[in-house]
Structure 1
Amino acid sequence: MDISVYRPGDLTVADRAAWTALQSKAHLNGSPELANPFLSPEFTLAVGRHRRGVRIAVVRENGEPAAFFPYQRTATGVGRAVGLGVSDSQGLVHRPGFRWDARDLLRDCGLALFEFDHLVEGQTPFAAGVSGTFPSPVMDVDEGYEAYLARLRERSPKFTRTTLAKERRLARDHGEVRYVHDERDPEVLRTLMEWKSAQYRRTGRSDRFAHEWITGLVRHLFHSRSQQFAGILSVLYAGRVPVAAHLGLRSERVLACWFPAYDPAFAKYSPGLVLHLRMAEGAAADGIAYLDLGRGQKEYKDSLRTRELTVSEGWVTRRHPVAVGHRARRAPVRALRNAVLSRPELFEPADQLLKRIGKIRSRG
């Protein structure tokens, strides 16, 4: 393999265009998972503005780009997926039929290992390092919103009927329900981030927006606009008041769901669910094929989905002492977390404990 490694600012316009072209044709080439916006050059370059160590390996064949491998590298050679922790799709974007050797790739990138937690399907050379696979629910809207809603009514009639009834009740109680698919007001983004931070604290989770780099990344992506990529802020209003909002990332065919939240004062109307139905309608009108709800076991995802993708977590390693030490530290934590999430008898008590901690924090 002929591999060149670049810092984000050094990636040429031609290489960036080639990367985008691979994503644009991914669904035609039998690899639709590569069209996810988290695998786009825009996401990698944005993370590079807010995090150190972002690199892009460009693999060439006969002088032409055949694959792009974005990653973050520490000084000791630990490689991580770009934006690990806030990225819902990871992997190597490549042309049809491209083959690579995982360890050779790591060696040429100066990595002892490569860690991932949302590896997309079809990354066969990385398969030996997979330690777990997980569903990522999807809402298919390629046949239009009405076709999606018909499938939803057939699969979950009570859920659909109840959600639509709550939307009507919200309108009766608080004024006309209005949906904006692509809201450009940064003040509404600030409101969404405040809701999400409060939700994290209320449920005892770590507040992602307490990290300056994540806040900066989100604001940067909100302002990113091109035909191939955009940050999409979708907002549900009751009268003039925003009651639910969501920031996601859009490629040409995929809307990746990212940060949803709502005003708890309107919780009885399930505004988050109403918002997701409106998002499906807006995405279908915008030419999107599907909404990727992301990895994670949530009741609302199970109710809204039409199918599931699969993402994986794990490490690809070389024989290197840094790889051994990193895995020794990280593997027990991951194993414990996944055991808790996958077993209701463990997850429910842990979830309740976190919520009690969250209440104590909120009172403080």
Structure 2
Amino acid sequence: MDIDVYRPGELTGADRTAWTALQAGAPPHGSPLANPFLSPEFTLAVGRCRRGVRIAVVREDGDPVAFFPFQRSAAGVGRAVGLGVSDAQGVVHRPGFEWDARELLRACGLSVWEFDHLVAGQRPFEAGASGTFPSPVMDVERGYETYLAHLRARSPKFTRTTLAKERRLGRDAGEVAYVHDERDPAVLHTLMEWKSAQYRRTGRSDRFAHDWITQLVRQLFHTRADRFAGVLSVLSAGGRPVAAHFGLRGERVLACWFPAYDPAYAKYSPGLILHLRMAEAAAAEGIAHLDLGRGQKEYKDSLKTREILVSEGWVTRRHPVAVGHRARRAPVRALRNAVVSRPGLFEPADKILKKVGKVRTGRR
């Protein structure tokens, strides 16, 4: 393999175009490479917020055939770009391309590469996976009415109740309106405030307490390309926002990312109403599916039509740094996954976190 490694600002316009073309050539159902988290725009945005972002470009006869974005520490520890907030990771490549994982790591100066959302079809990396997890999907390629008919057939009570709550929201709070691509930064700020409050209320770590994540979301909000954009969707009642979501749009995939709502309207399930409106608008724009992201959530189970799989783990070379990194990280991941995957452990842990959240927010 002919491999060159670049800093984000060194990537040429021709290489960015080739990267996007490889994604465009990936069918949305047959390949997860169309996910916008695997786009050059996402990697370049992370590169403006985080140190150590690099892109390996693999060429054959001078033409790029694969792109591998990663973050690298001075010690040679590699991580997926945006690890912790990225919902799709791996090598973007032409169909049929094969690579040697250790050769790629060596060319990138890495002793280990850690991932937590490795997309399917990355066979050279899959040997290092320590776990595989479902990522629910809402298929809308055949249109919103087809999706809604599927939802009614699978979960008639859920569908009926959600649509009834939307009508009740309109009666109680005023006319319900939806904007699929809101461009007002003030509304994005409101969403981030809601999400931060939700993290604190449920005892979770507040992602927006990290400056780089806040900067990243704001950058992506202003990013507009032919096959990529940050999309802020807003549900309002009586002229007041009650729920919002910020995600990333690719050519055929809408990656769901940060949903939140005003707790004052919780009884109307505004988040569910919002996702149905998002599905309707996405279908009208030619989106094939909405990727709800890895994670066990009741609302995802209710909305999904199927699941795709993502993996977490490490690819390593024989190196002391790789051994030390894995020894330090593996127990933490194993404990977290054991708790999340077992209701008998997750439910008590979730209750404890919510109690902590009440203390943090001063509620009783």
With the shorter chain as reference, the TM-score category is over 0.9
* Structure 1 stretches of 4+ moved >4 Å: none
1:4 corresponds in structure 2 to 4
C-alpha separation in 1, matches of 2:242 and 2:27: 35
**Number of matched residues?**
363
Runs of 5+ unmatched residues, structure 1: none
Give the deviation of 1:32 after TM superposition.
2.4
SS in 1 for 2:225: coil
Write the letter of the residue equivalent to 1:357.
V
SS in 1 for 2:66: strand
SS in 1 for 2:324: helix
C-alpha separation in 1, matches of 2:97 and 2:343: 41
1:41 corresponds in structure 2 to 40
C-alpha separation in 1, matches of 2:173 and 2:133: 39
Assess if the C-alpha contact under 8 Å between 1:88 and 1:118 holds in 2.
Answer: yes
Give the deviation of 1:253 after TM superposition.
0.4
2:20 corresponds in structure 1 to 20
Assess if the C-alpha contact under 8 Å between 1:44 and 1:70 holds in 2.
Answer: yes
Give the deviation of 1:226 after TM superposition.
1.1
Runs of 5+ unmatched residues, structure 2: none
1:285 corresponds in structure 2 to 284
Write the letter of the residue equivalent to 2:240.
V
SS in 1 for 2:5: strand
C-alpha separation in 1, matches of 2:160 and 2:100: 51
**Residues 199-242 of structure 1: CA distance to partner in whole angstroms, max 9, x if unpaired?**
00000000000000000000000000011100000000001100
Give the deviation of 1:127 after TM superposition.
1.3
Give the deviation of 1:31 after TM superposition.
4.5
Assess if the C-alpha contact under 8 Å between 1:136 and 1:295 holds in 2.
Answer: yes
SS in 1 for 2:177: strand
1:311 corresponds in structure 2 to 310
SS in 1 for 2:280: helix
**Residues 322-356 of structure 1: CA distance to partner in whole angstroms, max 9, x if unpaired?**
00000000000000000000000100000000000
Identity of aligned residues (%): 80
Alignment of 1:216-235 (within 5 A): 216-235=215-234
Write the letter of the residue equivalent to 2:270.
P
Alignment of 1:1-364 (within 5 A): 1-27=1-27, 31-363=30-362
C-alpha separation in 2, matches of 1:17 and 1:292: 24
C-alpha separation in 2, matches of 1:32 and 1:223: 27
SS in 2 for 1:288: coil
C-alpha separation in 2, matches of 1:348 and 1:31: 35
C-alpha separation in 1, matches of 2:207 and 2:351: 20
Give the deviation of 1:48 after TM superposition.
0.1
Assess if the C-alpha contact under 8 Å between 1:31 and 1:122 holds in 2.
Answer: no
Assess if the C-alpha contact under 8 Å between 1:255 and 1:291 holds in 2.
Answer: yes
C-alpha separation in 2, matches of 1:294 and 1:245: 17
C-alpha separation in 1, matches of 2:16 and 2:91: 14
SS in 2 for 1:99: coil
TM-score by length of 2: 0.99
SS in 1 for 2:293: coil
C-alpha separation in 2, matches of 1:358 and 1:12: 46
**Residues 52-86 of structure 1: CA distance to partner in whole angstroms, max 9, x if unpaired?**
00000000001100100000000000000000000
Assess if the C-alpha contact under 8 Å between 1:121 and 1:310 holds in 2.
Answer: yes
Write the letter of the residue equivalent to 2:310.
V
The root-mean-square deviation of aligned C-alpha atoms, in Å, is 0.8
C-alpha separation in 1, matches of 2:346 and 2:292: 21
**Residues 289-319 of structure 1: CA distance to partner in whole angstroms, max 9, x if unpaired?**
0000000000000000000000000000000
**Residues 105-136 of structure 1: CA distance to partner in whole angstroms, max 9, x if unpaired?**
00010000100000000000011100000000
TM-score by length of 1: 0.99
